[in-house]
Structure 1
């Protein structure tokens, strides 16, 4: 087991270019076991590219990613998939697939596409369905589920891989606020109860602050700042990164920052 101070996942001087365009510029950061880390920043700053690089899906032009000290590039794809899982922004939904069949796809890392499910696989699938509250919907076709239920089904597939690191790229996209909070709470619960290390891209800063241990602010392919929600949710820092005037709600725990499109007076309690 990794010591608490030993990074589980880290990037060293990571640079990535896509179609000749530099996206990440000599980025170095690390993630300790059992933490929840939110990648935040304006559109186009490299958040999703960083996440895919951490998953080993994009080869860097310089630097490297290491998982538990081992270079990710040196790990076979199947071995890598047993250790970490990526939940992308959007998904291709095969027609006629049931929830249980989708979740079973998470076991491909353990035996390949022609692998016959064994007792360990079935146990992992049942566990993933239970953890995401989908056991009673296992036989339902994906297309009949609500957006929130479908997103939980994809999360269950990632959990079925059995890894120790979960990477999520905007997991609340297309969800209403109720299902956003449901998804965030589910993932945070998995972290607290099972020690899962989570790195997710979140656009809503207040949700990131409420559900994460640390926030990492990115700008133009570089890490601008990282720290606890209290350290990062400062109007002057957010103004520098997002170019938006912000105001921090007094005595808010976790911290809440709002754009200055209305005056502070509008938020003060009436006499």
Structure 2
């Protein structure tokens, strides 16, 4: 069972983090979103969730997350996703459309990508991580991926206490294997094929789910951003019932840079569409 943080009652609003993060990333957002049953799980192998001996593929994460949704009997859910958490939100929504009230997302994987979709900085890092031996040294041995995420993947490096909270679940090279597995699954150039197929399936749902409100929060001012102007235009043209709102300057881990803006935009969107039942 996944560990999760929970406050409030009413409509379930589920906050899904990405790599190499945890529910800690929502600490400055959840208290300001307003009413609802606010839940933030740690994905399998991350945060305070267990670290079983699995490959940590997207399918592994989706399976454990699905079991968590079912164990809590979550219905009429609003999903909020960042990074791989957004992709998992789309995937779950596409397979359970009757259980979803709305989806908000930012800095996530909205479609299969070409290498040209990445900034030169991101492409170079991805190639190194995918190189056997080099990736293990960067992520497992040197622990660079986690540290750089919260010093370089943000406009302002996080404080020592918050960096310690992000590092705590990954004290050894072996404990960092989920982080490396995630980093190597970025869907580039048609690989990994099984993940590309799942993304194409949720893209079809995103394009046709006119009755499900969606919110894309965009950012600017950092070479680490995953959704720039071009990707945002693709979203506007290919995702049904989508609102796009610019949220200012931030890095990829925008929860650290712009938590107040993210919370305010989420709260306004929830209320405009009547997504809270109580």
- The structure carrying a bigger strand percent of its residues is 1
Structure of higher CA gyration radius: 1
How does the TM-score come out when normalised to structure 2? 0.27
- The structure carrying a bigger helix percent of its residues is 2
How does the TM-score come out when normalised to structure 1? 0.27
